[in-house]
Amino acid sequence: MKGSTGSDHPHIVLQDLTSARLNPSVMDIKIGSRTWAPEASEAYIAKCLKKDRESTSTSLGFRISGLQVYIDDESGFYKPDRNYVRKTGPDDVRLLLRNFVSSNPSSDSETGLGPDWSLASSVYGGRNGILAQLLELKTWFEDQTIYHFYACSLLFMFDNGLALKSGGSNAEVKLIDFAHVTDGNGVIDHNFLGGLCSLIKFISDVLAETNDYTGTNGQVEL
Amino acid sequence: MKGSTGSDHPHIVLQDLTSARLNPSVMDIKIGSRTWAPEASEAYIAKCLKKDRESTSTSLGFRISGLQVYIDDESGFYKPDRNYVRKTGPDDVRLLLRNFVSSNPSSDSETGLGPDWSLASSVYGGRNGILAQLLELKTWFEDQTIYHFYACSLLFMFDNGLALKSGGSNAEVKLIDFAHVTDGNGVIDHNFLGGLCSLIKFISDVLAETNDYTGTNGQVEL
């Protein structure tokens, strides 16, 4: 491709993944208990290791980097503080995963009238839901030995209005942030895969807690 | 249980796993890219991290701690040097996994008359082989959130003479070394699971390279 100077050199083509959505609810989850490649510099490894240990990456195998959930035109978006989201524990991660699929995500759960999880089955569940897409990705990661994805994220997206109106949500999972992808050298990306399996278990548990869900062990009831 | 002093206190009961075997071939594989628990001391973490990075733990998600293969009464056992075994690369790990299921494991592969992999299908393959047992363990690790197994090993065992004579091998996989097991706190052991999936891919590839094996993607042809 020709650059703006007229010379021929490689380009990165970027895509705005949410451009087709009116009020997208999105969550960015960095996958892997380790965000550094073995061949990285000592200084970079030390920096990443500190962040991994301070966040949930080391303990859970992933960390939520950020999320926003569309409520309505009046209230706008629920967008919890970035530092809270990244450094929270397993119970808070469960709460955030539930809030993400609630029509009232900012409700105070201490009053007993907490988030309603009303979109759990349409966003996480079903034939084309987020869990089904994660399981498909898992199957690929169990076999592929071409790439290792360090510090990459999975982006969850859905259209809140659509989910409430029709029961369908257009839920979508995209692999994003390829700045630290390395050669797999014939070995699977066990670091990404382990974190992905942990996330799958969390999502499965949220689904299992809703009445609409009848599967177990990460299996989707189709 | 009463102690030798007559007082009542907890005991650890140890089992000699190879006692029922005449000439056991065994391999000890430490699972997980990380051998330290997040709550360990800084000094212990630094020590483990160094070992993990110097061995294949970080890159492959597991490291071979040692192996011995029975050849015959005259030659005794093939037992490669412990330091070579632990610090080797992916290609050497593949070679060791092949040597483990060869009747002539110490043969020089450079002469073109290398190890024969003659026991691959009876030890790694089949309904009760090592791969089938690893896949069963994987299913358990995808769901269990009770324990995290740091610096634990899988012990592969089989009886070489039996495998050569009858085609059956009594191949067995045991989880050993429980000194660093911690509470799972409702999270799967993504560190062990990732390493286990990597090992499964290695074993599947060795099997796929033998003519007797027809499965793909870590599936066993039963």
- Give the list of residues 6+ apart from residue B83 with CB closer than 8 angstroms, or none: none
Quick check: A195 pLDDT over 90?
Answer: yes
Q: Which of A197, A203, A216 to mutate to test the interface with B (most CBs of B within 10 A)?
A: A197
Q: In this predicted structure, what is the pLDDT of residue B86?
A: 76
Quick check: B222 pLDDT over 50?
Answer: no
Give yes or no for B185 touching A (CB within 8 A). yes
Quick check: B112 pLDDT over 70?
Answer: no
pLDDT greater at residue B2 or residue B189: B189
Summarize the confidence of residues A132-137 as an average pLDDT: 98
Give yes or no for B182 touching A (CB within 8 A). no
Residue B216's CB is within 10 A of a number of other CB atoms, namely: 10
pTM score: 0.89
Chain B's closest residue to A193, CA to CA, is: B194
Taking contacts as CB-CB distances below 8 angstroms, the residues of chain B near A193 are 193-194, 197
Quick check: A108 pLDDT over 80?
Answer: no
Summarize the confidence of residues B129-155 as an average pLDDT: 97
Secondary structure in 3-state letters for chain B: CECCCCCECCCCCCCCCCCCCCCEEEEEEEECCCCCCCCCCHHHHHHHHHHHHHCCHHHHCEEEEEEEEEEECCCEEECCCHHHHHCCCHHHHHHHHHHCCCCCCCCCHHHCCCCCCCCHHHHCCCCCCHHHHHHHHHHHHCCCCCEEECCCEEEEEEEHHHHHHHCCCCCEEEEECCCCEEECCCCCCHHHHHHHHHHHHHHHHHHHCCCCCCCCCCCCCC
**pLDDT-derived band at A112, boundaries 50, 70, 90:** low
Pairing mode, if any, of strands B181-183 and B147-149? Answer: antiparallel
Token output for B66? 């040692």
Taking contacts as CB-CB distances below 8 angstroms, the residues of chain B near A197 are 142, 188, 190, 193-194
**pLDDT-derived band at B18, boundaries 50, 70, 90:** confident
Summarize the confidence of residues B50-67 as an average pLDDT: 95
The ipTM value here is 0.88
Summarize the confidence of residues B171-200 as an average pLDDT: 96
Token output for B168? 């059956």
User: Which among B194, B201, B218 is the nearest to A191, CB-wise?
Assistant: B194
Q: Give whole-number Cα distances, B23 to A195, B57, B73, B133, B168, in Å.
A: 40, 29, 9, 22, 15
Quick check: B110 pLDDT over 90?
Answer: no
Contact, B182 vs B37, CB < 8 A? Answer: yes
Mean pLDDT, chain B, whole residue set = 87
3-state secondary structure of A170: coil
Quick check: A169 pLDDT over 80?
Answer: no
Chain B's closest residue to A188, CA to CA, is: B198
Token output for B62? 């597991």
Quick check: A222 pLDDT over 80?
Answer: no
Summarize the confidence of residues B15-21 as an average pLDDT: 84
Quick check: B217 pLDDT over 60?
Answer: no
- Verify whether the Cβ–Cβ distance A197 to B188 is below 8 Å: yes
Q: In this predicted structure, what is the pLDDT of residue B186?
A: 94
A109 DSSP 8-state letter: G
d(CA A193, CA A137): 9
Give yes or no for B207 touching A (CB within 8 A). no
Q: In chain B, pLDDT over 90 holds for what percent of residues?
A: 60
User: Considering Cα of A15, then A17, then A23, then A24, what sign does the dihedral take?
Assistant: negative
d(CA A173, CA A140): 14
d(CA A118, CA A164): 8
Contact, B119 vs B101, CB < 8 A? Answer: yes
Nearest to B33 by CA among A148, A136, A131: A148
Contact, B49 vs B36, CB < 8 A? Answer: yes
Summarize the confidence of residues A66-73 as an average pLDDT: 92
Taking contacts as CB-CB distances below 8 angstroms, the residues of chain B near A150 are none
Q: In this predicted structure, what is the pLDDT of residue A216?
A: 41
d(CA A56, CA A216): 25
pLDDT greater at residue A152 or residue A18: A152
What is the gyration radius of the CA atoms in chain B, in angstroms? Answer: 18
Quick check: A175 pLDDT over 60?
Answer: yes
Chain B: closest CA distance from residue A2 (Å)? 38
Summarize the confidence of residues B34-61 as an average pLDDT: 95
Taking contacts as CB-CB distances below 8 angstroms, the residues of chain B near A42 are none
**pLDDT-derived band at A37, boundaries 50, 70, 90:** very high
Token output for A129? 């839901």
User: Which among B58, B90, B191 is the nearest to A194, CB-wise?
Assistant: B191
Quick check: A35 pLDDT over 70?
Answer: yes
Q: In this predicted structure, what is the pLDDT of residue A82?
A: 85
Quick check: A221 pLDDT over 50?
Answer: no
Token output for B74? 């005259």
Nearest to B142 by CA among A217, A130, A202: A217
Phi, psi dihedral angles at A174 (to 5 degrees): -130, 140
Give yes or no for A220 touching B (CB within 8 A). no
